[in-house]
Structure 1
Amino acid sequence: MSQKSLDLVLVNPANRKQIYQSLSTNLSAIEPPVWAGLMATFVRNKGFSVQIVDACADELTADETAARVAELNPFLTAIVVYGHHPSGSTQVMPGAGSVCTAIKQQDPKQKVLLVGGHVAALPERSLREEDADFVAAGEGLYTMLELIEALKSGGTDLTKVRGLWYMDGDKVKVNRAAPLLMALEKEMPGIAWDLLPMEKYRAHNWHCFGDRDRQPYAALYTTLGCPFHCSYCCIQSPFKSGEEKLGYKKMINSYRFWSPQRVMEEIDLLVNKYGVKNLKISDEMFVLNPKHVLGICDGIIERGYDLNIWACARVDTIRDDMLDKLKRAGFNWMALGIENASQKVRDDVQKGYKQEEIHGTVNKIRNAGMYIISNYIIGLPEDDLETMEATLDLALDLKCDFISFYSGMAYPGSALYDKAVEEGLPLPESWTGYSQHGFDTMPLGTNYLSSAQVLEFRDKAFQVYYNNPGYLEMIARKFGQETVEQIRQMASHKLERKLLAKVSV
């Protein structure tokens, strides 16, 4: 093996086919690996050399990914187990595990670190089950940096690498926790776009309804974390150990910002160097802090950029004084987590907005000229057939421009997962079972219904909504008949489900 000249390779493992089945061909987005890009910037700013292998965008097999890593021959390979939404980390694990194994088969001496939301939630299990040398217990930034330094110094003393889990013989070792990175703008100001295959990323089909080109496309964070405590969400799992290290109380979530000025520098680069028109704000909760949101809107409006942006909001976080500027800045789509029609079901998972706010918020967004993608969860703990039917009825009544029906899932790192483990509830046998669109998807059963009943209803609701004549007529008026045909094509993809093998869906 040649002498090492590269410090770090960050790998975004391939996963789209496993996660989306036939939907991955031309309907789903090809997302830039935002966390890998941020990590690359952080490490590079500390004086270390880094490359990114985006196996997902380059459609590399595990063996091809391992071969590329072997060519680069770094001191450390970090496999980044982050998805593009909070629920996306666990379903990345099969791809990540395959790459770990392939790297070790090609070069047993190559040091491999797993980092990301899923492994931060289950560090010991990840270390024991996967062919990795190390696991990062927190968000991984300081762990990665200190591990590179330790390996370059001979790798004999790992005890000072904060946030690191590793094996010492047959014993599991864990070091003291690493804090969160608080100086975002100084130490991790943006994404290392120059290390990514920018020409390969594309927006979701719905993001570009109305015959918009889906490329060029990019995604970025303007904040990290979420102050809310929905029990089905696992977004804070990589941040909790770092929060504790900084003295946060257990029920307080961190919520960190890049300034509007710094965000605009990133958008300037994307627009002027890469020609980006379609942009996703990846924040779990973007529309929250008015000063932050309006500062970014003002920056985009002042520059006159013609952008097609989507971002997430809660039903109860959109203020009237934000709407006009959001639309003028190019926020054509708002993603709303409506989740469920039942106040009782929502309250049980700490999704605490009022029933009357739903229609009011949807109407306000529409009146501002924006489109809505609404998200619903079928099969939360207090759901039964009646409440799930009510959720489908609400979706049909609101008639949002696009919707996602998710199954209730106990993701590692969420309060629902902890409760399911404590009570011995059935969970998926493999990590692919946590994918919403996978073959072996297995939702969490409710207090009244089985996993199979939940999944059967979810798949039925998808077909009912997207084949509804009233919905299709609205889409034809807004976007044209070609978009209607796109939706019909999408609805024609019937997902194969192991759990429903004997059920017609």
Structure 2
Amino acid sequence: MKTLITNPPWLTPGRIGFRSNVRWPFTVSRKTWREKGRCSYHFPIYQAYTAALLMKHGMDVGVIDCSVDALDAEAYCARVEEAAPGLVVIETATASFAQDIVTIRMVKERTGAPVALVGPHATIFHESILREHPFVDYVVRGEYELTVLELVRALEDGRDARGVAGLTRRDGNIVRVHPPRPFIEDLDALPFPARDLYPWDHYHEPNYLALPWITLISSRGCPFRCIYCLWPQTMYGHRYRTRSPRNVVDEIEECVKRYRPGEFFFDDDTFALSKRHVLGICEGIVGRGLDILWSCMGRVDTVDREMLEAMRRAGCRKIKFGVETGSRAIMKTIKKGIDLDLVADRFRLAKECGLEVHGTFMIGLPGETRETIRETIDLARRLPNDSLQFSIATPFPGTEFYTLCEKNGFLVTNDWANFDGKFGAVMSYPDLSKDEMEEMLFFALQTCQPQYGKAGRTLAGKLLHEARTSGVGAALAHGARYLLKQAGISRASGGGITLSGPLRMGLGWYPGGTEIGKEAYLTVEPGTERGGRTLAMTAKAAKGAAPYPTLELSAGGEPLGSLALSSEWRTVRVALPETRLPLEIKIRADRTTRIPRPGKLPKFVGATVRELAVTRSTPR
């Protein structure tokens, strides 16, 4: 009997989805997918573990990963038919489930093979899925390798699988829920993932430095209780379980000999958690003379200098720190437990130890307001990131975050397709609407992403990537654009803002675009000389804005002037009131939305500022 382990199609108009081994399933545009290296091709490592385990026990196994090949439902079903399986294992996700269930029906109708679903969404809704969809035979709940193994054994022996723990199954018109399966304690007992069954050299993350990219897992489970995190609450639990350092390094050595990888990535929930575990792996890498490059995920409160230096000696290139918020109140609400006072120190420490640092941040966490988001953006701007990412928090079923939103009526949709980590918010709070979350995400991306290229090493990595994927000419053009931008000659980007006189930017105002529909602020500080001051601002409507917005300037509740914007640059000059400095000036822009293309977030646009200057006009 052949078992087919599959990641089915997830295609929407103009987009391709990724779900397997993805904590926040997402879609990317076909254009991005075609441009190699521009998106994450996550290796389905847990499916590969399952395949390897079945093969270890002498079973016939096949795999299909539709995401990496962009297969549609027809092509997928044709491959399933050709394999003539005795069991089809299909991974599902919340955002893809409506499409998945149509594909699953096609598989059942065309092959008649038993179907078993795996993944967080199926785990949470196991009973309702079997009740509502008679073409689904089994749901394997949670960590699934051993359950699939026992299910295959039962089917091969002609048994009904009634003794298989961790399984929910159909028994005629009755849904049978079996007892849960304990988590796998001895992870060393699992064989290494069956990478050779997959196009293993096609998988990578977008910020890789060298290919091929090999994904590793050195531990499972996370002891922390972050309310938004999907896997510990639905799949792998809160008990932290590690492989032995020897077993991990054995796998690394095998991969080096077989695949000659350019880079490894430890996709543990938190690799840098146990100091003993990390040091053991690092010592093993160095002791065996394995000259490798790798990156990992970590927490700022579990690393120290000894650990980071050992990681660097062992070839670690980058560590990803999940910060999520710059608000102490929100940090408490989400139960992440990080002391924000540690964040900047640990980022700097990692940099001192020779590592690149990637920071991750979320918008739209419970209790969020525009002010807490500003705190997060301000923190992200201050940190010595080599790269960073912002996303809208998504309350996936099975998480405490989802329960909170459902209980309080915060969810604004019951369409699972909207739970795509690349699209807009699916909730709205009393103090922060869905539209405001999406505005602030766009605001954060426009504000923080231009600083990605500050580190020369990061720029070099980007140019190497560009040369590999698009040719040397494209890489040189990329480098030229970067240098122009750093020189302040970028197209209406905020990089060309000139500041003269005693002026600083205050929290809430970021060059390049006003916060649409709300207020932005700048503060004029005292100078060494006294005298009247004039504010000059040159701006125009952002491309695509309709109708054209108007900038309104005021101070202390009194209007200073306004500027009716157009597609051309215009300048407004206003006399600042002679009052005690610092003087806070409020700038307001009318709300304007650029109509989004299909599959894109709406872009909230307003004024683009080219020049902003305060000059002394009347010396005393």
Aligned counterpart, 2:509: none
Q: How far does residue 77 in structure 1 lie from its aligned partner after superposition?
A: 0.8
- Distance (whole Å) between structure 2 residues aligned to residue 343 and residue 159 of structure 1: 49
Aligned counterpart, 1:372: 357
1:78–1:112 CA contact under 8 A, matched in 2? yes
Aligned counterpart, 2:106: 102
Q: How far does residue 503 in structure 1 lie from its aligned partner after superposition?
A: 4.9
Aligned counterpart, 2:512: none
2:412–2:427 CA contact under 8 A, matched in 1? yes
Q: Please report the TM-score for the alignment, with normalisation by the length of structure 2.
A: 0.70
Q: How far does residue 153 in structure 1 lie from its aligned partner after superposition?
A: 3.3
2:391–2:422 CA contact under 8 A, matched in 1? no
Summarize the alignment of residues 3-402 of structure 1 with structure 2, pairs less than 5 Å apart: 5-6=1-2, 8-15=3-10, 17-18=16-17, 19-22=26-29, 23-26=32-35, 27-81=38-92, 89-93=93-97, 96-107=100-111, 109-128=112-131, 131-154=135-158, 157-186=160-189, 188-201=190-203, 203-208=204-209, 213=210, 215-239=211-235, 253-402=238-387
- Distance (whole Å) between structure 2 residues aligned to residue 169 and residue 106 of structure 1: 21
Instruction: Give the percent of matched residue pairs that are identical in Structure 1 and Structure 2.
Output: 28
Letter in 2 for 1:195: L
User: Closer, same or farther in 2 for the Cα pair 1:181/1:123, shift >3 Å?
Assistant: same
Q: Higher helix fraction: Structure 1 or Structure 2?
A: 1
* DSSP 3-state at the match of 2:321: strand
How many residue pairs get aligned? The number is 466
* DSSP 3-state at the match of 1:10: strand
Could you give the per-residue CA deviations for residues 363-419 of structure 1, whole angstroms, max 9, x where no partner exists? Answer: 000101111110001111121001101211111111411111011211112111122
Q: How far does residue 316 in structure 1 lie from its aligned partner after superposition?
A: 0.5
Q: How far does residue 476 in structure 1 lie from its aligned partner after superposition?
A: 4.5
User: Closer, same or farther in 2 for the Cα pair 1:486/1:79, shift >3 Å?
Assistant: farther
- Distance (whole Å) between structure 1 residues aligned to residue 89 and residue 132 of structure 2: 17
The higher relative CO (CA closer than 8 Å, separation ≥ 6) is in 1
- Distance (whole Å) between structure 2 residues aligned to residue 348 and residue 354 of structure 1: 13
Q: Give yes or no for the alignment of 1:457 onto 2:440.
A: yes
Q: How far does residue 175 in structure 1 lie from its aligned partner after superposition?
A: 1.8
Q: How far does residue 332 in structure 1 lie from its aligned partner after superposition?
A: 0.7
1:94–1:432 CA contact under 8 A, matched in 2? yes
User: Closer, same or farther in 2 for the Cα pair 1:487/1:422, shift >3 Å?
Assistant: farther
Letter in 2 for 1:293: V
Query: Which one has a bigger Cα radius of gyration?
Result: 2
- Distance (whole Å) between structure 2 residues aligned to residue 128 and residue 498 of structure 1: 32
* DSSP 3-state at the match of 2:67: coil
1:443–1:451 CA contact under 8 A, matched in 2? yes
2:49–2:145 CA contact under 8 A, matched in 1? no
Letter in 2 for 1:283: D
* DSSP 3-state at the match of 2:16: helix
2:28–2:39 CA contact under 8 A, matched in 1? no
Aligned counterpart, 2:568: none
Q: Please report the TM-score for the alignment, with normalisation by the length of structure 1.
A: 0.85
**Aligned partner of 1:422 among 383, 404, 407:** 407
Letter in 2 for 1:66: C
Gaps in structure 2 of 5+ consecutive residues: 18-25, 467-474, 483-492, 494-542, 544-593, 607-620
Aligned counterpart, 2:459: 479
Q: How far does residue 24 in structure 1 lie from its aligned partner after superposition?
A: 3.3
Could you give the per-residue CA deviations for residues 400-443 of structure 1, whole angstroms, max 9, x where no partner exists? Answer: 111110112111121111222233331543333222214xx434
- Distance (whole Å) between structure 1 residues aligned to residue 323 and residue 180 of structure 2: 36
- Distance (whole Å) between structure 1 residues aligned to residue 348 and residue 151 of structure 2: 51
